[in-house]
Structure 1
């Protein structure tokens, strides 16, 4: 039996609406509760079910504010009934209905998670009015507190992951300016598997990586952290090029376990004396080169993503001559896979270059922030991929040898 009602004439439309689920197998008691609700002056919608099994659908699918629960149902009784309802709807107020001889039952029900209890036969309209209002208020307060706690824990977890995914660059003699940004794909979500890093090796070369583990959430993020740390350790250990990528792939396969995760990445070695950048692309796209003439995408040989065909080991190098002043931008596809305005097509590299062309020439950090802001504005929240951007700027430092 389901009824939608607005209570007495005093229940004006501007009053809060209470969506109430009554679980009661006695038709007489159910009718009394319904009549009392009319007398409370509350604005309410009432749904009545006779068993917990029948109430499951409402608890799962409907936005219920308050459950009025009889403790003696055909399929469950006592505090087991309270526990079952709390499991089905942990943030919904529960008010237990007890008999005259069950004084202890109400207290036990509250200990099991009910907000309050009422004794059948001793309930008046004013008491029911106050009980429903206060129970819903307490339940909403508890829910808000739980959500705030979840937000805090998620922020702490994101901070820990971010420290692993966004390390401090290791720069000794290099004067290349490093700017990086990392954004999760959606508000309040865990960071994903995008990662980046910059290290100056003992050979005086500047090494950089930007990568993207397939998937989102803690598993992808953990694997991204693992690959980022592995890359830094291997670089400092003297590994380079396809040898470095082979070792990273072995680590990925060992760490991903049964999950069929893979990773794409771009490796960049910047030689300031030779004025060159050496690229290795493992399933990833080319960086952007910015000079006084504008910004363009570099042309480089492509290799296979890590973890797809481990025995292939094909990551050919590409050496790019660099101007005396300029910038290289490495990024993950969260920057280009969003939509390009209202027409629905993907932004892509061409759209990204058009955006960059229209941005003012300014500080690198401001420039990246403006670019991300513009891509998000065009996308209008329709795409939720993670985003990592790494920009390396130099001015008059090359060709010294």
Structure 2
């Protein structure tokens, strides 16, 4: 039985009605509850069910604000009734209806998760009004607190992953300015497998990596953290070039287990004194080189992604000359795989370079932020890949 909306003079027009589910097998008691609700100051929609089995679809749909629950139903009774309702609708207020002789039943029901209890035959309209309002308020507060706690725990988990994916650059005497940005692909999602790092070696050279593990979620993120830490350890241990990539691939194969994950990455070694950058591309695209004449791709030989063909070990090196002042930007494909805003076309590298040419000159950090903002605006939320950007700026005259 569904009762019409309780019309109460003076109710705020914008106040939504309380959606109340009465689970009561006694027709007389059900009618009394309906009449009492009509006399309250509540706007309400009342649905009545005679058994827990009948009420299951209503509880499972999540469209109930408050349950008025008789403790003696044909299919369940006592505390078991409260436990069953709470299991089906854990964030819904439950008010137990007890008999005059059940003094302890109400307290036991509240200990089992009910927000309050009412004694049949001793309920007035104003008491029912207050009880429903407060029970729903407490239930909503509990739900908000639970959601806040879940959000906090997820944020802490993301922060731990982010510390692994986005470490502090290890710089010594280098005057190169380092700008890094990382954005997960989806809101509230675990960080993806993109990773980056910058380390100045004992030889005075600046070493950088940007990589992307295939897939999303915790497995990709964990492998990304593992490869980033492995890269830093191997760099500090003196490994370079193809030897370094071979060892990273061995680690990837051991750590991915049965998951068919692979990784692309760009290795870069910047020698400020020689004015050169050495690149190794493992299935990754070229970085962008910015000079006084503009921004372009730094042409480099391509090698295979890590984990695709472990026996091949093909990662040729490319040495490119650098101007006295300029910048190199390494990035993952989250920056280019979104839509360009024109007929569903992907932005791509050409679109990215066009966008960079249109941006006003500014400092490196603001430039990277503006670039990310513009690509997201063009994409209009239609693509949700993870994104990592690492920009290195130098000026020999400084």
The verdict on a shared fold, with TM-score over 0.5 as the criterion, is yes
Query: Hey, what does 2:88 align to over in structure 1?
Result: 88
**Structure 2: distance between partners of 1:129 and 1:371:** 55
| Cα drift, residue 95 of structure 1 | 1.2
Query: Hey, what does 2:170 align to over in structure 1?
Result: 170
Query: Hey, what does 1:323 align to over in structure 2?
Result: 323
| Contact 2:6–2:37 under 8 Å retained in 1 | no
Deviation string, structure 1 residues 146-197 (Cα, Å, up to 9, x no partner): 2222233233222222221111111223221111111222334332222110
SS at match of 1:341: coil
| Cα drift, residue 114 of structure 1 | 1.1
Deviation string, structure 1 residues 123-158 (Cα, Å, up to 9, x no partner): 222111111100111111122222222233233222
Matches of residues 346-357 of structure 1 in structure 2 within 5 Å?
346-357=346-357
Query: Hey, what does 1:193 align to over in structure 2?
Result: 193
> Is 1:368 matched with 2:368?
yes
Deviation string, structure 1 residues 189-242 (Cα, Å, up to 9, x no partner): 332222110011223321111112233333332222111111100111111222
Q: Give the aligned length.
A: 398
TM-score by length of 1: 0.91
SS at match of 1:340: coil
Note the residue ranges of structure 1 that are not aligned, 5 or more in a row. Answer: none
**Structure 2: distance between partners of 1:314 and 1:15:** 67
Query: Hey, what does 1:146 align to over in structure 2?
Result: 146
Matches of residues 335-350 of structure 1 in structure 2 within 5 Å?
335-341=335-341, 343-350=343-350
- Give the root-mean-square deviation of aligned CA atoms: 2.3
**Structure 1: distance between partners of 2:225 and 2:51:** 50
Query: Hey, what does 2:381 align to over in structure 1?
Result: 381
> Is 1:265 matched with 2:265?
yes
Matches of residues 80-229 of structure 1 in structure 2 within 5 Å?
80-229=80-229
Query: Hey, what does 1:289 align to over in structure 2?
Result: 289
SS at match of 2:268: strand
TM-score by length of 2: 0.92
- Of residues 55-64 and 292-301 in structure 1, the stretch that sits farther from structure 2 once superposed is 55-64
